[in-house]
Structure 1
Amino acid sequence: MTAAPVLPDAFDPTDPGLNEIEIPLREFAELRKTAPVFWVEQAPEARAGFLDQGFWAISRHADILAVSKNSKDFSANENGVIIRFGADMTREQVELQSVMLVNQDPPDHTKLRQIISRGFTPRSINALKEVLVERAEKIVDEALARGEGDFVYEVAAELPLQAIAELLGVPMADRGKLFDWSNQMLAYDDPEYNADPATAAAEILGYAMMLAADRKENPQDDIITKLVTAGEDGEGLTDDEFGFFVILLAVAGNETTRNAITHGMMAFFENPEQWDIWKKDRPTGMVDEVIRWATPVTVFQRTALRDVEIGGQLVKKGDRVALYYASGNHDDEVFDNPTVFDVNREHNPHLAFGGHGAHYCIGANLARLEVEVMFNVLADKAPNISQTGAPRRLRHAWINGIKELPVKYA
């Protein structure tokens, strides 16, 4: 029997060096048993210039869910949702991001979400299925023609990029720009990328505003026109709101789904009997099990607006709380055998879309569709796909990312 880990006083599950090796699931299991609301004293280099304290790490599924649903006591806007900023991040830079949906509180969040949801109706998403199947088939055919390569770049990244391009009406030739910009925005912890997040964000904003100006001048039957022109409520997105929506879509709709598909493929490699089940039976539980297993965003934060108790621990007004979705998705109080990858899992109330509160992922159905389509096409066209080398993980504080996964397709 494996001994439980001894947690050091300075244990910080947002340490990008730690996550570059693996998500600390054994340590999270120990926290859930012994200190489900655990104070993390961040090292000075891990803090933004305006933050001089640590945060509470929330590890139990029930507590994460309770905070996610409680917008009255916990704010996404106060300090944003990103748990670990760069050391040179200023309060002004964080406040500039407050126009982004994920960093807003009601009533601003409610109003903006209502406008954005015009583009994510079930009808809009279902209308994409046929074209996404065609795109996925072409992606896999091209991979098969190569024989072997990098699954992340050639397969997992391509379908989300093409879905975003299709959704926004972005020329397919420009999808590479979205790929590069989103990588630059998120890879600031990984020295391999030499990332410049501020410049990448400015590039996306400029590109988005160009798209918005074009649709205002030449309306079309697409999501951009729906978002930037007045709807039945007389409201449309401002240029800034639309620009930050495109940033959110480029990051949340690209990076997260790319990593879900990659982690799903790795899970199938590690559990070949599950790949056989998928190829033969196509169980409906596969999609959410892949997303639970991957948990592409491992943690977001909230800030307490008043003194409040979580899991028996008093959290003071102004304290930050970190919602560790990766831990909640492995809580054995909720999931049977959570360390087992099971495509037939029936009870799967995972938190990978941010819990079930006001900030539940608006693109969840699109992400599910992309995962389902890609693994259907892979099972049909590349049933004997195999891993040929070790994956390389992204060094990051809150993204469970894979940079490279060498495979043989045929």
Structure 2
Amino acid sequence: IHSADVALTIAGASQFGINARIEGVDWNKIIERASVGIDQDARNIEEALERAPNVTVFPGSGRFRAPGELQVGDDVIHAGQFVIAAGGRPHVPEIRGLDSVPYMTSDQALRLPAQPKSLLIVGGGFIAAELAHFFGALGTDVTLVVRAARLLRHEDDEVSERFTSIFSRRFRVLLDSNVIELGPEGDQIRARVRTGEEITDVLTDSLLFATSRVPNTDLLEVANAGVELDDRGYVKTDEYLQTNVPGTWALGDIVGRYELKHSANLEASYVAHNLLNPEDRLPVDYSAMPHAIFSSPQVASVGETERELREQNRPYLVSTYPYDQAAFGANIEDHDGFFKVLADPETREILGCHVLGTHASILIQEAINAMHARSGVAGITGSIYIHPAMPEIVQRAFGSLSEPHHHHA
């Protein structure tokens, strides 16, 4: 993604008095930077496990045959304790003509041998947002087909609306839309898109599905282990991450609470503790669980959205502070960015923070730390901030809290 950020910076250099242009894109080098790092990390982990004492690695795909019994290839493993951390995979919706055209998911997107001239992305969530930015900034003509009325519909409404507006300036974005048919058209792909009553044909070189993900519980055949699943196919656990089968635990994407690497890391630390300390089990503390979207603009969020607080009928204070009202934000010409804070009017507890703009994933960390430490609004406003540095935006957002303009029932 950083290569795309650099390309976008060069494209916008003229506003800072720098005349620059991109002479070309070395696609193979960009893809190599992404894939080599990932592959090397995977090899390092694998080699470390193979060298570790008391660890036996069984390469291959596993499936449960019965409670306490897992088959991997020709090997059958019996154990009193199992940790299920088999993740999830991209889901591709059923569309007429799908099998007549080539398509990809996020699994293949960053390993393409050549950069597509045009790309149709089906989906409007964080994967679609990140990959649209990546391909688009490097010169691919991107179209997004989004089923919802906005991109990033699970984010705070202000973030979602602003992001949709910005992306609609950068790309062709078809909202409230569905791909209803696919077919080959010469050496391209023809996608028939329905928007309300209107039908449009979109021609594209490449097709990418970024619609949703599904857990790998079916591939692992966890039902054979007696493990209960929810109605979406995710493993059900208690607050200690143990399943209904004593000694069988689960964490990460296959549980589906937060499908994030850092949440899986947190869950893994709790499972390790609870499995080894049955008399001193700890419930997982998911408070102040953040996420970020590495698109352009970046988005970062922690805690409740304003919509969720209204639905709970909970009183709150709100502040939405524009980046460009602080010196650093104005200097970098970020006129779309803002930092939004939601807080309890009585206790001044921080209820949620939502950021859109440059380095959103960095700026939000102060709010995450304050929420985790339960230091409240004063934990931010009581500190001294460097002028004219970017974190002043955070300080000013927290210092501008007021009653929302609408009334509560």
- Asked if these proteins are the same fold (TM beyond 0.5), I'd say no
The answer to which structure has the higher helix fraction is: 1
Larger Rg: 2
The answer to which structure has the higher strand fraction is: 2
TM-score by length of 2: 0.27
Higher RCO structure, 1 or 2 (CA under 8 Å, sep 6+): 1
